[in-house]
Amino acid sequence: MAEVSQERARNRRRRILDAALAVFSRRGYRDASVDEIAAEAETSKGGVYFHFPGKQVIFRALLDLSARRLLDRVEEAIARETEPVAKADAALLTVLRAFAEHRALARLFMVEALSAGGEFPQRLLEIHAEFIAIIRRHLDDAVAQGAVAAVDTAIASRAWFGALNEVILHWLIEGEPERLEDAYTALRPLLMRSVGAKEG
């Protein structure tokens, strides 16, 4: 009986976070309200407050959950590759594909987390650092194996992430290219050349 109750609570919490993602993406963090999130989740305002004491807590939980899911997806993609450069490449491509499939998620990370103020810009930098660390780890392996030039991987990993970040932001704001994956086709050779890797 307790397990059923816990599962129901988990489902409601998940539904609230899904609703929050939709509302924050549509209205922006500042204009979104707990009332709107409750309506979107088809629950009461009290039901939302039972799980989350306020809008800020909802947003933080959503940001953390989304980052965790994305990091897990990146690690799964990396695990399928054997070469270190391919692993770093897979990390970037996975982020791009996830955002291409979920524009609301891209907006949460690229726009709303920065405009929300408070703790969120710092939290976003911490999330970026986690992704950059993954790229650097595999670039370090690539340097050690002689698969790329002896580059400064601290700078290279930030440059790779920064380039992808800018491409995604431009797509999100300007709608170009129409398909986000098309940008990576042009970006990938530049990234590979930046570390002296073959483009195959």
List, for residues 151-187, the tens digit of each pLDDT value.
999 999 999 999 999 999 999 989 898 888 888 888 9
Query: Which residue carries 């955002």 as its tokens?
Result: 99
Distance (Å, whole) CA 14 – CA 19:
9
Query: Which residue carries 């932001």 as its tokens?
Result: 169
Q: Is the pLDDT of residue 200 over 60?
A: no
In terms of domains, do 102 and 154 share one?
yes
- Say what the pLDDT of residue 111 is: 83
Average pLDDT over residues 104-117: 84
- Say what the pLDDT of residue 110 is: 85
Which of 11, 29, 53 is the endpoint of a domain? 53
Residue 134 neighbours by CB under 8 Å, 6+ apart: 71, 74, 75, 78, 88, 91
In terms of domains, do 75 and 117 share one?
yes
Q: Is the pLDDT of residue 140 over 80?
A: yes
- Say what the pLDDT of residue 29 is: 87
Which token pair is 170?
């431009």
Check which CATH number belongs to the domain holding 186 and give it.
1.10.357.10
198 by Cβ neighbours in 10 Å (0-12 / 13-18 / 19+) ranks as exposed
Domain containing 169 equals 60-194
Distance (Å, whole) CA 136 – CA 127:
14
In terms of domains, do 116 and 46 share one?
no
Q: Is residue 200 part of a domain?
A: no
pTM listed for this prediction = 0.84
- Say what the pLDDT of residue 78 is: 93
- Say what the pLDDT of residue 92 is: 86
In terms of domains, do 17 and 70 share one?
no
In terms of domains, do 89 and 70 share one?
yes
- pLDDT, mean over the chain: 89
- Provide the number of structural domains found in the chain: 2
- Say what the pLDDT of residue 190 is: 93
In terms of domains, do 33 and 82 share one?
no
Q: Is residue 24 part of a domain?
A: yes
- Which pLDDT band holds residue 149 (cuts at 50, 70, 90)? very high
List, for residues 78-102, the tens digit of each pLDDT value.
999 999 888 888 988 898 888 888 8
In terms of domains, do 66 and 158 share one?
yes
- Say what the pLDDT of residue 1 is: 62
